[in-house]
Structure 1
Amino acid sequence: MTSIAVAEPGPTQFRTTEIAGTEIFYREAGPQDAPALLLLHGFPSSSHMFRGLIPRLSGQYRVIAPDYPGFGHSGAPSPAAFDYRFDRLAEVVEALVDRLGLKSYVLYLQDYGGPVGFRLALRRPERVRGLIVQNAVANAEGWNPDITASMGPFWRERNAETEKPFADLLKPETTRFQYTHGAARAERLSPDAWTMDQAGLDRPGNREIQLRLLHDYQSNFAAYPAWQRYLTERQPPMLIVWGKNDPFFTLQGVDYLKQQVPGAEVHLFDAGHFALETHAGEIAERIRAFMARLPAR
């Protein structure tokens, strides 16, 4: 791989703004006139998951990483005050993008960032310069079948019995598992990651927020055909950087993306669901090379 010169990183700014009646927190770094990267986090994390990536990219790019409502340092209004669906999360991020004046960007999609980012791409495809996909899928077969088996009953009828597997996702031991499972470089795992996530999950009222989003995840399965059409028709430049030991998303998700976008560049890492925790340096290097090849906008 050709080495890409790395500019001195700029400081990360920690900002908040009010959108849809709630405070939205986001991290921002890099020159205002540089090509933009919009980093979209997964469950149960926040922009905190990008804390090791942002400094590695901010010397050359304008990097923005928001927390969705109910996550991280953003506000967590009650479900009576905010409609927790993936459509609404995407609307909030789109409003932030408009407020910050971003005319084009590369989307970084991880886990929940996939459903949010694909919605942004479908709404404003002309803005998307490319996609960076890290453990996010666009097909049902990309899921671990043991997990999808529990989804149907919960989606058909939510009750105490059917929601139990999803309520278990909110427990401290499961949060830690998401980071530790499949991580070959365990010594690089910071306990700050799962401790930060769990603090968010444990906020009063957050259990119901998360269960509503998990129940709405069926809307993403329903949207897969639209996302697939976007990929095949638009053929966006795509970089796939994937933790191959992910307990939730399988390599069939990678294969499918590659089938839809044959020009996609794929790099598999000996890592789990949150590959940035152990491979941020290698992933940043791939991103810089990918960004350098994109046509100017």
Structure 2
Amino acid sequence: MKRLVLITAVLLAAAGQKARAQQPVPVPISITSEQAVHYRTINVNGINIFYREAGPKNGPVILLMHGFPTSSFMFRNLIPMLSNKFHVIAPDLPGFGFSDFPSREKYQYTFENLANTMQGFIEQMSLKHFAIYIFDYGAPVGLRLALHNPEKITGIITQNGNAYKEGLLDWANGLVQAFWADGSQKNRDAVRKFFLVDATNFQYRHGVSDQTLIAPETVLLDQHLMDRPDNIEMQLDLLRDYRTNIELYPRFHEYFRKYKPKILAVWGSNDPYFAPAGAEAYKKDDSNTTVKFYNTGHFALETNVNEIGTDVYNFLSNL
């Protein structure tokens, strides 16, 4: 009898364990409908602009401006970290990501024109006040928006978004500078190699100590879009026009001195394009600047999103 009781107890215990194993495991973190990322398109002066949007509609707005050669996809891991409290909006610039890519005959690819389109975007979206996150090409576009809308800017996060000559590195051994000075076909062809897959890989991987942190789909998506017909010609137009951003640096500095926006510089210290001195330089004109460095390369969000996301969240919470 004792043996029968023991066997029955063992069988009941096993059955209980099986039942518990079949029960659904609760998910520790839930995403509300407000936090879910929505993928939308809005028409701005005849151009369809794709954007990612998440967070409470009545929350403080943060506008994320991507750089070259990527898109709002670069913010895919940051957006969920901010969207429980902030209204996050991340558009793709014309010719980038999933926004329209109008022909060069119909659309002039200059930084001033990109900023004009983004001005139309913020007006269409009825953005009254917003912080702005700028990176790479998104920096000269975003800072132009700040010049045109100083009353709307609540704060600036610059992730390797340069605005000072101290930050410029000659990564191309003078080829880009020669192209800026003279847009001849010879000089144009000399920098064409910087739009090939090896160069895209370099951007993501240079200065990164743990290469396994680089998601391969980032390079694949960027290069796939880069290889679209006529895209490299468009990119060459923008690269030549980059010299106009440097000419605007004094106006950016004047804006910093006059309006003293709160600035958080989150900088990959091993960036081959924009040196750490470019981050520190913001302090010269704006005493409300905080600088944080991370031991990584140009695309710092690919490797250090947890640290950067925490720093950005805290910064935005104190605006």
Same topology, TM > 0.5: yes
Superposed structure 1 runs of 4+ greater than 6 Å apart: none
Q: Is the 8 A contact 1:46 1:72 kept in 2?
A: yes
Confirm or deny that 1:19 pairs with 2:44.
yes
Query: 1:236 and 1:148 mapped to 2: Cα distance?
Result: 35
User: Which deviates further from its counterpart, 141-150 or 252-261?
Assistant: 141-150
Aligned equivalents of 1:159, 1:7: Cα separation in 2: 55
What letter matches 1:133 in structure 2? T
Are 1:276 and 2:301 counterparts? Answer: yes
Aligned to 1:186: 211
1:187-226 matches, cutoff 5 A: 187-226=212-251
* Higher radius of gyration, 1 or 2: 2
Choose which of 56, 68, 71 in structure 2 pairs with 1:31.
56
Name the structure 1 match of 2:179: 154
1:102 to 117, 121, 127: 127
Instruction: Note the 1:127-142 alignment, pairs <5 A.
Output: 127-142=152-167
Number of residues paired by the alignment?
289
SS in 1 for 2:299: coil
SS in 1 for 2:123: helix
Stretch of structure 1 that moved more, 150-159 or 185-194:
150-159
Instruction: Structure 1: give runs of 5+ residues left out of the alignment.
Output: 1-5
Contact between 2:171 and 2:272, CA under 8 Å: does it hold in 1? no
Separation (CA, whole Å) in 1 of partners of 2:150 and 2:318: 19
Deviation per CA, 1:173-211, whole angstroms, max 9, x where unpaired? 100110000112322110111111111111111111111
Of 77, 81, 92, the match for 1:52:
77
In structure 2, the residue matched to 1:145 is 170
1:147 offset after TM fit, Å?
4.0
Write the deviation string for residues 237-287 of structure 1: whole angstroms up to 9, x where unpaired.
011111000000001101211222223111100110000001111111001
Structure 2: state its 5+ residue gaps: 1-28
- SS of the residue corresponding to residue 157 of structure 2 reads strand
Counterpart CA distance in 1 for 2:315 and 2:227 is 38
Kindly state the Cα deviation for residue 114 of structure 1 after the two structures are TM-superposed.
0.6
Equivalent in 82, 94, 99 of residue 69 of structure 1: 94
Structure 2 equivalent of residue 3 of structure 1: none
Structure 1 residues 60 and 214: alpha-carbon distance in aligned structure 2, compared to 1, 3 A threshold: same
State yes or no: 1:113 paired with 2:138.
Answer: yes
Q: State the 1:150 CA deviation.
A: 2.6
The secondary structure found in structure 1 opposite 2:209 is coil
In the alignment, is the contact (CA less than 8 A) between 1:35 and 1:62 conserved in 2? yes
| Alignment TM-score, normalising by the size of structure 2 | 0.87
**Cα distance 1:7–1:285, how it changes in 2: closer, same or farther (>3 A)?**
farther
Structure 1 distance, partners of 2:180, 2:188, is 9
| Pair 1:291 & 2:311 matched | no
Distance 1:128 1:262 in 2: 17
